[in-house]
Structure 1
Amino acid sequence: MTGGTTEAGAGPTRRERLRAGTLEEIKQAALGLIAEHGSANLRFTDIARSLGMTPPALYRYYADRDELLTALVADSYDSLSDALTATRDTVAPEDLDARFLAACTTYRSWAQQYPERFALIFGSPVPGYAAPEDGPTVVAARRAMEHMVELVTATAEFGRLGRPLVPDVTEATMLAWATVHGFVTLESYGHLAALDQPTRDRLFTAQAGLAARTAGLAPPET
């Protein structure tokens, strides 16, 4: 075996491990700058300075800012999807109400734990950036959003899907997610700061219940 190559089934080479580590360092530095200054102000020169690198050195890892942003957005969606998957696996498949509430709660907790990632994928668009069509960001976003669709599908399979507030089930699913997302966004950007934590928790649970009824996941209140 020559340097820089691996046998079938062998792990990555030292050079590959070092490159992967540097890629991750660059992404973490970028996320730190996004948290501090916002995604619109992300610049290679600032990333390089924070890592003790020269700006040209960054181009050995990312072709330009857009490629780095694409990697960050895809990573953020994957992070959200992984959190939702982990939560789903802790709740019995037939306990649909608990699964939906757990998914909503996880979405909220993830936004609180990773505010820079939440802002990157759900905040204001980055000027001049356009995600590649059918690229990694689209695939990752679809994977993350499929969790809500799976809940609706599972509810239908159990014969418990009620009448959604809009006739089309797919549209109802998106409306349910928008209902939860609206609360999480207000909270994430400090617009509910006047309310104490217990009050916000109660309101969020009520909002999640409203979202469930919107998609037909729970019977309408009488």
Structure 2
Amino acid sequence: MGNETLNRRERLRAETAREIRTIALKLMGEGGPDAISLRAIAREMGMTAGAIYGYYATRDDLVTTLIGEVYTDLVDTVEAARDARPADDAAGRLLAWAEALRTWALANPQGFRLIYGDAVPGYRPPEGGPGALARGRACDGLVGLIADAWPHARAAHRHDRHQWSDFGEELGARVRAEHPGLPPAAIALALRAWGRMHGLLALELYGHLSPVAADPGALYRDEMLDLAGSLGLEPPAA
């Protein structure tokens, strides 16, 4: 009975912690990043402020956990979509990553805003936290997509003048270890591809496309096909 009681308490605690995070994202969606506060969440849940501090000692602890959880879920999603395509299908893997990003973002708009949009006032992320680890995975994944495309893309980007010093030292070290021979121009290309994936998507999620475009998804798809073409890749048939 002792172990059963302990396990039940652990499950209840985990469920309450998940509910706290869900309500934090809900409050952010309704009132922006300023709306995330432990006291507001406690009121929403019918808890005392003291009780909720037993789960997260500070608002920043909650935000750090949220960012790590949301970012990790996103990266898990896009990596799974990429890996569902054959390893030698560079175009298909790139497009699968991009489409999975959009699908995830539309299903999790508050999460997208938290990690890519609205900064939480006063929040300082810890070094090496779960959000930073997930961000590193995302960046490495994008570089990997460009590395797959580089045999086709390098001729079109042979005049790039980027140096390793143009990028973060840690990122550069990882790229050189994972992709020996890949030039720093490929990192620049990966970051530009990231910008193209996020540009139209951010406009859509913040409500700027709906007044002027009947099918934002078609615009996004065309942009990603153009991205693949700019890398010298032959997109798969529709």
Same-fold call, TM cutoff 0.5: yes
Aligned to 2:167: none
**What whole-Å deviation, never above 9, does each CA across 1:145-167 have from its counterpart, x for those lacking one?**
322112122334xx434346445
Which of 149, 169, 176 aligns to 2:143? It is 149
- Deviation of 1:195 after TM superposition, in Å, equals 3.6
**Structure 1 vs Structure 2 CA RMSD:** 2.3
- Judging by fraction of residues, say which structure has more helix: 2
| Partner residue, 1:135 | 129
Percent identical pairs in the alignment equals: 36
Partner of 1:8: none
Q: Is the 8 A contact 2:147 2:186 kept in 1?
A: no
Shift of 1:19: 1.8
Structure 1 residue 41, shift from structure 2 partner: 1.9
Match of 2:101 among 77, 90, 107: 107
Q: Distance in 1 between matches of 2:94 and 2:208?
A: 25
Q: Does 1:169 align with 2:161?
A: no
State the Cα distance separating 1:4 from its structure 2 match.
6.6
SS of the aligned residue for 2:152 comes to: coil
Deviation, structure 1 residue 76: 1.0
Number of matched residues? Answer: 208
Q: Given the alignment, which residue of 48, 57, 65 partners 1:63?
A: 57
Give the AA of the match of 1:120: L
State the distance in 2 between where 1:92 and 1:195 align.
37
- Equivalent residues of 1:104, 1:208 under 8 A apart: yes
Q: d(CA) in 2 for partners of 1:169 and 1:36?
A: 39
Shift of 1:22: 1.5
Q: Given the alignment of the two structures, is residue 218 of structure 1 paired with residue 206 of structure 2, yes or no?
A: no
Q: Could you state the TM-score of these two structures normalised by the residue count of structure 2? A: 0.79
User: Cα deviation per residue 1:145-200 (whole Å; 9 max; x = unaligned)?
Assistant: 322112122334xx4343464451111110111112111111111111124443x2
1:42 aligned partner, one-letter code: I
Counterpart residue type for residue 64 of structure 2: T
- 1:192 maps to 2:209: yes
Whether the 8 Å contact between 1:101 and 1:208 is mirrored in structure 2 is: yes
Structure 2 Cα separation of the partners of residues 201 and 163 of structure 1: 30
Report whether the alignment pairs 1:32 with 2:26: yes
Given the superposition, is the C-alpha separation of residues 217 and 106 from structure 1 closer, same or farther in structure 2, using an over 3 Å criterion?
A: farther
CA positional deviation for 1:204: 1.4
| Unpaired runs of at least 5, structure 1 | 6-11
The one-letter code sitting in structure 2 at the alignment partner of 1:176 is A
Match of 1:9 in 2: none
How far apart are 1:90 and its partner, in Å?
2.1
The answer to whether the 8 A contact 2:21-2:66 is kept is yes
**What's the secondary structure of 2:57's corresponding residue?**
coil
Give 5+ residue unaligned stretches, structure 2.
162-184
Select between 104-113 and 138-147 the one with higher mean Cα deviation: 138-147
Aligned partner of 2:219 in structure 1 is: 203
Please name the residue that 2:182 is paired with: none
